[in-house]
Chain A
Amino acid sequence: MDAALKAHLDRRQALLDQVRALIVKQTGRRLAPADIDPDAPLFVSGLGLDSVDTVELIIALESELGLPLPSDTEAVPALRTVNTIVDAVLARPGGTDRAA
């Protein structure tokens, strides 16, 4: 594995771990962070987060990962899964790294 690919994968794994831990902490779910699959739906049918969880999560994402508060139209796709959140964090100014 070359250095650029390794850096990309390491960066994504670190963010994945951070976002999962944040979700567990903010929502109080009785889960280990690794129990949250990266592409599983977070709301309704998946992890079952509700509107209160959403507010808590959005605030935590801004304070801990610097993800700006999304508009209504941005929030729907950005908060669908852990990986969509990781994408949003990487896409923010200074988020760096894309397509190893």
Chain B
Amino acid sequence: MPLEGGMAALRQSVALSELDHVSRVRVAGPAAFDLVNRVTPLELYARDGQMLHTVLLEPSAQVLADAYVCRDDEAYLLLSEGPAAPALLDWLRSHVQAGEQVTLEDLGPSHEMFSLSGPYAWELMATWLGTGILGLPYMGFARGDGWTCFRAGKAGEYGYDLLVPRERAPALRAKVRELGREFGLADLDLPSLEQAMLESFAFNIRREGRAGATPLELQLQWRISYQKDSLAAAALRERRTQGPRERLTFVRSPERFAAGDAVTSGEERIGTAVNAGWSELLGAWLGTAMIGVAFAHPGVDRYQVGGRPLQTITPPALLNRSLVVNPQRHSYRTRDKDTFPPLVPGR
């Protein structure tokens, strides 16, 4: 079935998404580094204008938030999914040590966020802000006239997250919509964005984050460092020594299933589904499941979820067009003359 609306735009042109669910907090002051370094489980090696994709962890090593830590001169911006900004601020305050001077500012009341994502998002951005924006590297951010642009994204496509002052947001958004007409721009709502994240096996704090698991089970070890003495260091090292008992695994089924459904192999329960959603692109139900490590491998089509057939598969579910669209050779205007591999390999 052909993709429609925002999902078609995300996978084939450009999609506009509101990022109201992202908490944005600025940490400044003489102890800004000390605080951010303390709560970040990844080595805080970031130059000015550079972002790190990490997770914030409880001392037990359970994931609290999915976060970008952005070095902004001597301050830091935290763009975080998980706790709402007030709860995140409380959590950060609880880790400020006696005598430390640090300022925590919730940018939510003063700034809005929206994103442009898709294989031609770069071209709309260049049309809007000038070709200089094409030099912004992945995991970098830059400022311009009333905007801060973060080169990120969780749907496997070119992604630009915009932080803009609230008073300027309507005009900037209107300009994007006006320019976006030439690029097939369409709105993508949060449920669709989350489905796109699932297709790309991107961690979703509102789904996989509910599993009460650590980065070891969630396949997020690349966002931590075992060498670093952060809040959760002891718990992470202990879990690493023991080895994870379960691993987040990508699954699909021709039949509907839901988070919480039992995953079984014959009569044996081997895990639990933690996320599920219908993929128009695949024509199947996709999901993630926490499965015992001995069983958590792709290529098995004899497991069941809630009594329905289940197949373990290798993510991601698609070959994102952003992987093959090259700003030096391609353009949305001439896309029909270009040949690209199918979004779903083999189709």
Contact = CB atoms under 8 A, between A and B. Distances in A.
B270 to A, nearest CB: 9
A44 B238 CA distance: 28
A39 to B, nearest CB: 5
Interface string A61-76: 0000000000001001
Contacts of A39: 201, 219, 248, 250, 314-315
Nearest to A100: B300
Interface string A1-12: 110010011001
B219 A44 contact: no
Contact of A47 (B53, B222, B298): B222
Contacts, number: 83
Contact of B295 (A9, A35, A77): A9
Interface string A40-83: 11001111100000000000000000000000010011001101
B144 interface: no
Contact of B221 (A40, A44, A98, A100): A40
Contacts of B53: 45
Contacts of B319: 76-77
Given A9-B300, A76-B324, A38 B219 contact: yes
| Category for how many chain A residues contact B | 35 or more
Nearest to A15: B297
Contact of A77 (B268, B301, B345): B345
B302 interface: yes
B306 interface: no
A81 B297 CA distance: 13
Contacts of B201: 39
Chain B interface SS verdict (over half)? loop
Interface string B225-247: 01100000000000010010001
B316 interface: yes
For B221, B227, B297, B311, the residue with the greatest tally of chain A CB atoms inside 10 Å of its CB is: B297
A5 B222 contact: no
Contact of B302 (A36, A38, A100): A100
B300 A5 contact: yes
Contacts of A44: 138-139
B299 A99 contact: yes
Contacts of A37: 219-222, 247
Contacts of A90: 299
B302 A5 contact: yes
Nearest to A72: B324
Contact of A8 (B219, B268, B297): B297
A14 to B, nearest CB: 11
For A30, A41, A45, A47, the residue with the greatest tally of chain B CB atoms inside 10 Å of its CB is: A45
A73 to B, nearest CB: 7
B174 interface: no
Contacts of A99: 299-301, 311
A81 B315 contact: yes
A26 interface: no
Contacts of B222: 36-37, 40-41, 46-48
A81 B227 CA distance: 23
B17 to A, nearest CB: 19
Given A9-B300, A40-B220, 9 more contacts: A1-B266, A12-B298, A13-B297, A36-B221, A39-B219, A39-B250, A40-B221, A77-B323, A100-B300
14 contacts: A1-B266, A2-B266, A9-B295, A30-B227, A34-B243, A35-B221, A36-B221, A37-B222, A38-B247, A39-B201, A39-B219, A76-B319, A83-B298, A98-B299
Sorted nearest first, the 3 A-B pairs with minimum C-beta distance are: A37-B219, A12-B297, A83-B314
